[in-house]
């Protein structure tokens, strides 16, 4: 069982244009809306890959029913704390020529200190019966940067942290089992550019020194690096048709969780994450993953020692 925390769910509206030209008229070729939020995405991918998954979190009263209905449709149990306000809408504008994906994300409903206490109690209750607790995504307005750190310190369950900025930096002190930053997040957290494979390995090893037990550093089309338990591995990106990169990191994490259950070995689970991330970019909008794509791609993953 995995439990994923989603403190800032969203409606993800994806618009496809031939090529986004700022300041000009852009005609939409296709559009779709999905329920999102990184914790929800991770749980959906894990569930589609055969894991038992649960979502806990909070969300604005306006729109919360649609979030619950979507999770019911995926067969995912959930405990969401309703808070005043509305569920945010995130807009993704995808250029069909592959030149860009532009994201406009709303902040979401504010979370008061008293509500954070209630949410912490919900997390404790649900994490107690879980193998892994996943803490991921942006923190809602009003939530302190150290919220993830405090939650990890309050739980006895191994925690996976996928956050950015101050939430990542402070969360490292709670020694999460795994972190999964992308290049931009790693550069921001460490305050320096990452321009080569050697830079990426050095960054991952620094995250280990700062408190993480395992690190997967995703580099988009350049592949990904895993470090932990005295080893360092590199996996090249798989050659697939990229339709949308939105949610690929969440899918990668869901794949890693599947691999951890199947293999009980992080180095082997890394392969599952690569396959799941690649399967995700093959789908439009934020549809996340088709299990048959994942199974086919898993056989193609190559992992090399660094």
Distance CA 60, CA 108 (A): 8
Instruction: Report the C-alpha gap between 304 and 258 in whole angstroms.
Output: 21
Structure token digits, residue 222: 């350049």
Torsions phi, psi for 131 (to 5 deg): -80, -35
Q: Is 199 a catalytic residue?
A: no
Q: What is the 3-state secondary structure (H, E, C) of the chain?
A: CEEEEECCCEEEEEEEECCCCCCCCCCEEEEEEEEECHHHHHHHHHHHCCCCEEEEEEEEEECHHHHHHHHHHCCCEEEEEEEEEECEEEEEEEECCCCCEEEEECCCCCCCHHHHHHHHHHHHHHHCCCCEEEEECCCCCCCCCCHHHHHHHHCCCCEEEECCHHHHHHHHHHCCCEECCEHHHHHHHHCCCCCCHHHHHHHHHHHHHHCCCEEEEECHHHCEEEEECCEEEEECCCCCCCCCCCCHHHHHHHHHHHHHHHHCCHHHHHHHHHHHHHHHHCCCCCCCCCHHHHHHHHCCCCCEEC
Kindly name the residue from 18, 250, 265, 293 that is annotated as catalytic: 250
Torsion-angle region of 223 (φ positive above 0: left; ψ -120 to 50: alpha; else: beta): left
The catalytic residue positions are 250
């Amino acid at each position: 069982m995995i439990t994923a925390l989603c403190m800032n769910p969203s409606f993800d509206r994806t618009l496809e244009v031939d090529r986004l030209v700022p300041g000009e008229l852009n005609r939409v070729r296709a559009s779709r809306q999905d329920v999102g939020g990184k914790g929800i995405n991770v749980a959906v991918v894990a569930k589609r890959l055969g894991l038992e998954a649960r979502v806990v979190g909070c969300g604005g009263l306006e729109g919360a029913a649609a979030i619950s209905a979507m999770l019911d449709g995926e067969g995912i149990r959930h405990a969401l704390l309703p808070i005043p306000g509305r569920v945010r809408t995130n807009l993704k504008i995808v250029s069909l020529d592959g030149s860009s994906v532009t994201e406009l994300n709303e902040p979401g409903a504010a979370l008061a200190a008293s509500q954070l206490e209630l949410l912490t109690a919900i997390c404790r209750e649900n994490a107690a019966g879980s193998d892994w607790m996943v803490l991921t995504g942006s923190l809602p307005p009003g939530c302190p940067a150290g919220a993830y750190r405090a939650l990890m310190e309050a739980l006895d369950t191994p925690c996976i942290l996928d956050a950015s900025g101050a939430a990542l930096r402070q969360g490292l002190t709670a020694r999460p089992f795994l972190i999964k930053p992308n290049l931009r997040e790693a550069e921001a957290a460490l305050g320096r550019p990452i321009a080569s494979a050697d830079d990426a390995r050095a960054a991952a090893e620094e995250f280990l020194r700062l408190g993480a037990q395992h690190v997967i550093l995703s580099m988009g089309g350049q592949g990904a690096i895993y470090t932990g338990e005295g080893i360092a591995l590199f996996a090249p990106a798989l050659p697939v048709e990229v339709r949308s990169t939105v949610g690929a990191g969440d899918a990668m994490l869901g794949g890693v969780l599947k691999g951890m259950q199947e293999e009980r070995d992080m180095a082997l689970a890394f392969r599952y994450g690569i396959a799941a991330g690649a399967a995700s970019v093959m789908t439009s909008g934020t549809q996340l993953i088709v299990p048959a794509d994942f199974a086919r791609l898993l056989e193609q993953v190559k992992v090399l020692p660094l």
